[in-house]
C-alpha cells in the first residue's frame, strides 16, 4: 500500500510516505512556518520514491484537534491534493498520533493524551496502542478543564502531551492512574500511518470534500503553535 501522510497540528510539521516496507519522511519543528514547509516536504518525499501522486492508494492527515491554524493548513493541503488526484483521504486524530508517538518512543501501550488548548482547557483522549502501532480510542475525545478529566479505573497509564506540563490540576487528579509523564512528545506524520492503514482497509477513506478538520473549539488562533 502506498500512502502519503501529513501532520501540522502541533509545533512539528511533518510528511511521511510509505510504499511497501519503504518509508521516507521529513520533519521540522518551526512553529508558524508550516504553510511554507509542507508542500516542499511532500515533493521531496515523493521525489525519493520516484512515484507520482497518482500512483498512491490514499492520503492521510492529522485532522486535529490541535493548533487551529495548523489543523486548517493540513486540511487545505490534503483536500487540494485529493481533489486533484481523486485519491481517498483518511483523517486520523492528532491525539491518536500523540499516543502512537509515545508508544514508538517509550514502549507505553496505555496513553493518556492531554494537549494544552489554552483558556485553561486541554484536549483529552485515552488510547491503547498495539504492537503494530495502531491506536484505538478508549474514550470520547474532548475539550475539558484539566481538573475535570475522567480518571480511568485502572492504573499504569503514561501521560503524553503539553497539557501534562502546563496543568498541575491534571497531574494531581491523575496521580494514582499515571506512572510516567512525557510532556515533550509530539506526533509526526509517520505516527499516523499504521492507524490510517487499518481504517482504510475497514473502508474508512473519504472523498476530498469530506476530509474535515476536528477543532473541538472553533476559534483558537495559533499562538506559539500549540
Distances (CA, A) of 194 to 50, 120, 152: 22, 32, 25
- Quote the cell numbers at residue 193: 500511518
Distances (CA, A) of 6 to 15, 47, 111, 203: 4, 16, 22, 20
The CB density around residue 44, as the number of other CB atoms within 10 Å, is 14
CA angle 11, 13, 14 (to 5 degrees): 140
Q: Tell me the per-residue pLDDT of 46-74, one tens digit each, with 9 for 90 and over.
A: 999 989 999 999 999 999 999 999 999 99
Residue 157 contacts residue 181 (beta carbons within 8 Å): no
* Average pLDDT of the residues in 166-185: 97
Distances (CA, A) of 39 to 103, 147, 205, 224: 28, 39, 22, 21
Q: Topology of 95-182 in CATH?
A: Nucleotidyltransferase; domain 5 (3.30.420)
The reported pTM is: 0.94
Q: Tell me the per-residue pLDDT of 105-155, one tens digit each, with 9 for 90 and over.
A: 999 999 999 999 999 999 999 999 999 999 999 999 999 999 999 999 999
CATH 1.10.10.60 matches 2-93+187-210: no
- DSSP run (H or E) holding 78: helix 68-85
| Chain centroid, CA 2 distance in Å | 19
Instruction: Please indicate whether the domains covering 2-93+187-210 and 95-182 agree at the CATH topology level.
Output: yes
Domain boundaries defined on the chain: 2-93+187-210, 95-182
End-to-end Cα, the chain, rounded Å: 32
Q: Tell me the per-residue pLDDT of 155-172, one tens digit each, with 9 for 90 and over.
A: 999 999 999 999 999 999
Q: Tell me the per-residue pLDDT of 12-53, one tens digit each, with 9 for 90 and over.
A: 999 999 999 999 999 999 888 999 999 999 999 999 998 999
Amino acid at each position: 500500500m502506498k500512502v502519503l501522510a501529513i501532520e501540522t497540528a502541533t509545533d512539528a510539521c511533518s510528511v511521511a510516505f510509505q510504499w511497501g516496507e519503504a518509508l521516507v519522511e521529513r520533519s521540522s519543528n518551526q512553529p508558524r512556518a508550516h504553510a511554507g514547509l509542507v508542500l516542499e516536504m511532500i515533493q521531496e518525499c515523493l521525489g525519493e520514491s520516484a512515484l507520482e501522486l497518482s500512483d498512491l492508494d490514499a492520503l492521510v492527515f492529522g485532522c486535529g484537534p490541535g493548533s487551529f491554524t495548523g489543523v486548517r493548513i493540513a486540511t487545505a493541503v490534503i483536500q487540494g491534493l485529493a481533489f486533484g488526484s481523486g485519491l481517498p483521504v483518511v483523517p486520523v486524530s492528532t491525539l491518536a498520533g500523540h499516543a502512537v508517538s509515545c508508544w514508538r518512543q517509550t514502549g507505553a501501550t496505555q496513553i493518556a493524551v492531554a494537549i494544552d488548548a489554552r483558556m485553561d482547557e486541554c484536549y483529552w483522549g485515552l488510547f491503547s496502542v498495539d504492537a503494530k502501532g495502531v491506536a484505538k480510542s478508549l474514550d470520547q475525545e474532548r475539550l475539558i478543564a484539566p481538573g475535570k478529566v475522567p480518571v480511568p479505573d485502572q492504573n499504569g497509564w503514561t501521560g503524553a502531551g503539553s497539557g501534562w506540563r502546563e496543568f498541575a490540576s491534571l497531574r494531581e487528579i491523575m496521580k494514582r492512574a499515571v506512572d510516567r509523564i512525557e510532556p515533550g512528545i509530539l506526533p509526526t506524520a509517520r505516527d499516523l500511518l499504521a492507524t490510517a492503514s487499518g481504517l482504510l482497509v475497514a473502508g474508512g477513506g473519504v472523498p476530498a470534500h469530506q476530509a474535515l478538520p476536528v477543532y473541538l473549539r472553533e476559534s483558537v488562533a495559533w499562538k506559539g503553535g500549540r
